[in-house]
Amino acid sequence: MTTKSYFIPSKTVTGEVWQKPQVNIVAPHFNGQRFFNPWEREERNQAALFKWILTRQSQTWPRWCQNQQFSVPPVRYSDSLNAWKVWFVGHATLLLQIGPYNFLTDPVWGERCSPFKNAGPKRVRAAGIALEDLPPIDAVLLSHNHYDHLDTASLLWLHEHHQMPIITGLGNGVYLRQHGINVVELDWWQSHAFAEGVDIHYLPAKHFSGRGVRDRNAALWGGLSVVTPHGHAFFAGDTGYAPHFQEIKQRLGAPRVALLPIGAYEPRELMKQVHMNPTDAVQAHKDLATRNSISMHFNTFQLTDEAIDAPAQALTEALFKQQVPEHEFVVMLEGEGRVC
């Protein structure tokens, strides 16, 4: 009996050379050397951030959580481009089945989200779908290069088995092309013609990037939308709250479904510029004017100080306070699918 890969052990993580991407563009979010968030120039207190990293209690989550079992996704969901289903794999990894196409967001099956084999945040639960149970993947939507979003081992496995393109932001190809992976790099608001009637747009986010000390903010971060004649599926990536949600709605219309982060937000003073909390996420849901939001970026890796169950509880409270029906912004279990 073959053992399925619900996560990739740390010992198989492939090393990489940290390089500074070379980007030559003119944009209001690029100063010639680095990308930055255009909405505000305030930087996080680096001394306070360093102190928190040294003194935080990073082992307050359970050591392991068992997932419920769900059916595996079909090879192709539908011949109709108007039929959609979203599967929550875990953290920021979701499978979008839009008609006959399968898209995977920020695929992370690695045991750790870290450059080190034996250190760094370790998953407390398996992915909700085993790698072998994935349908044929037509494209990966990659938001940015942090280790809990760009997992080299997972991308190499997917490349070997699916040979799919990766759609991402400017500068991120340097981490992937060295492995022979096909990469499409886009600036904010640029789009890639994926198939007839289907375009993939790279969109703004309020965050930062870097995999080592030499490449901080040298590659772009963002969200992505799969745009069809029947609406668009918006994947927010990692982001703090900012006016970009309103602009996305103005330019592309209200998403048919929005995948919004709700975790990794405490201590708030250090995290608010780069990660939304559930209150921010509900406001983003309202800015986007979507009726279908799905929670992500929680429940797998302890990245910050809140308890493992705090994001879901805080989301319920935020929905009540902001008078948003609970069925509009849901928390799915790992491996669960939802028709949108």
State percent of the chain over pLDDT 90.
84
Whose tokens are 């069809």? That residue is 228
In a domain, 296, yes or no: yes
Q: Which residue has the tokens 């080592």?
A: 212
* CA distance from start to end of the chain: 35
DSSP codes, 47-78: HHHHHHHHH-----S-S--PPPP-PPPPS---
Per-residue pLDDT, 24: 76
| Distance in angstroms (rounded) separating the CA atoms of residues 239 and 260 | 9
Q: How far apart are CA 137 and CA 46, in angstroms?
A: 39
Provide the pLDDT for residue 51.
Answer: 79
Mean pLDDT value across the chain: 93
> Rounded to an integer, what distance in angstroms lies between the CA atom of residue 190 and that of residue 332?
30
The single-letter code of the amino acid at 68 is Q
The average pLDDT across 171-186 equals 94
Beta strand 293-296 with 329-330: parallel, antiparallel or unpaired? parallel
| Residue 289 near residue 254, CB atoms below 8 Å | yes
- For residues 305 and 292, give the distance between their C-alpha atoms in angstroms, rounded to a whole number: 28
Closest CA to 126 of 264, 300, 294: 300
Question: Which class for 19: exposed (0-12), middle (13-18), buried (19 or more C-beta within 10 A)?
Answer: middle
> At 101, is the secondary structure helix, strand, or coil?
strand
In a domain, 149, yes or no: yes
Task: Give percent of the chain above pLDDT 70.
Answer: 95
| Burial of 179: CB neighbours in 10 Å, binned 0-12, 13-18, 19+ | middle
Q: Residues with Cβ < 8 Å from 297, sequence gap 6 or more?
A: 91, 92, 238, 261, 262, 263, 264, 275
> Which CATH number belongs to the domain containing residue 299 in this structure?
3.60.15.10
The pLDDT value recorded for residue 25 is 80
DSSP 158-183: HHHHH---EEEETTGGGGTGGGT--E
- pLDDT at residue 13 is higher than 70: no
Name the strand (E) or helix (H) holding 105: strand 101-105
Q: Mean pLDDT throughout 314-333?
A: 98
Domain enclosing residue 316, as ranges: 75-333
pLDDT, one tens digit per residue, over 194-225 is: 999 999 999 999 999 999 888 999 999 999 99
Structure confidence at residue 43 (pLDDT): 67
Q: What pLDDT band is residue 26 in, cutting at 50, 70 and 90?
A: confident
Are the CB atoms for 243 and 227 separated by under 8 Å?
A: no
Considering the domain boundaries, does residue 325 fall inside one?
Answer: yes
Q: Is residue 17 part of a domain?
A: no
For 173, phi and psi rounded to 5 degrees?
-65, -25
Give the pLDDT of residue 41. Answer: 61
| Between 240 and 43, the higher pLDDT residue | 240
Strands 198-203 and 329-330 come out as: unpaired
* Assigned domain for 60 exists: no
- Is pLDDT of 16 > 70? no
17 has pLDDT over 60: no
Q: pLDDT tier at 19 (50, 70, 90 boundaries)?
A: low
> Is 253 within the bounds of a domain?
yes
The pLDDT confidence band at residue 56, using thresholds 50, 70 and 90, is: confident
Q: How confident is the model at residue 22 (pLDDT cuts 50, 70, 90)?
A: confident
Residue 259 has pLDDT above 70, yes or no: yes
Span of 14-28, 79-93, 120-134, 284-298 with lowest mean pLDDT: 14-28
CA–CA dist 259, 94 (Å, integer): 9
The CA distance from 196 to 182, in Å, is 20
Domain count, the chain: 1
Q: Angle CA(121)–CA(257)–CA(152) in degrees, nearest 5?
A: 30
- Which token pair is 87? 């599967």
Confirm if 241 and 206 have CB atoms less than 8 A apart.
Answer: yes
Helix (H) or strand (E) holding 151: none
Q: Residue 321 above 60 pLDDT?
A: yes
Residue 15 lies in a domain: no
Q: What is the pLDDT of residues 306-316, one digit of tens each?
A: 999 999 999 99
Q: Is 239 domain-assigned?
A: yes
